[in-house]
Structure 1
Amino acid sequence: MRPLRHRVAQLLLVPVTVVGLLGAVGCGSSDPAPPPDRVDTDAAGDADSAGAVAGPPSCPFTAEQVSTIVGQPMVGEGSCLFSDGKGVASLTVETASKIAGSGTFTYKRDQAAQRYDQVDDLDQGDMAYVAVKDIEGEAVLVDSTGAYTLIMSSFTRLDPAGYGQTLRRLLDAIGG
């Protein structure tokens, strides 16, 4: 058994080592790392590869844009959530990086096939689909700017075909 003095010295050394390592990798600081000035591309200068490592895009819509596209007044509720202001109709847009969207696309598509009456694959972006049922619709788009999941619910004037058309118009607005 080692002398007590040696064991105490070892115990005191462990926190100093951990703190030193955290400081070396940038942990333990309350100041966030500054954003990079640019995103590196691959050896060929492919900007699409740079988009794969970029973070999620910002919300692609304003309440005014959503109102125009869906054909009824909508208000922004924050975090890319829009509602009719009456607690009935809603549109939620979730954004993610391209790499995250690419990684979850097949799973989301499979889940949509179980939840919705109709799922149509779209020739838009890298991957896209629109799924609809009686009072709800979902669309997913993965393109060079990121990944977008749109969920529309309780638009009483829309039938499944109306949800599909509206979601396609929303995706067109994102895709430019």
Structure 2
Amino acid sequence: MLTSSFVLGQAGHFNGGDIIYQLFIFIVLLALLKKFAWGPLMGIMKEREAHVANEIEAAETSRKEALKYLEEQREIVKQSRTEAGQLIENAKQQGEAQREDIINQARAEAERVKEAAKREIVQEREKAVAALREQVASLSVMIASKVIEKELSQADQEKLVNEYIQEAGEGK
């Protein structure tokens, strides 16, 4: 009953003027809301939508650029590794070549020193032989002069030869 008395008013009769008045005020309020609130609110929402779309597009562009840069960096790293490997290989080859050169030079130097030593040995031997010949010649001369001075017996000759050989041995 409350509802029927509320709709019908206090006296129980239908008041059409109040309903029309309230309907008119509601329509004016809707028009004012549409003009002053809904329009700017929709404008803000459209601006926000455009801003979000721009941000999404910028983020997608940045992501694509980052992927592109990442690929470029990967390619650069790959090239750097290849170049580093080539440099290492070249250094190994140069080191091996230098090692071979050093070994060959050392062998040649050793051969040269060996040949020089052989020549020196031959020269020293020839000098020793020449010195020995001179000593033998001088001993022969001394023995001949002694023999000439006196005639010796067999025992005296052996004794004399032994003495001169002993003197020659001490002379060295």
TM-score calculated relative to the size of structure 1: 0.21
Which has more strand, going by share of residues? Answer: 1
- Structure with the greater alpha carbon radius of gyration: 2
TM-score calculated relative to the size of structure 2: 0.21
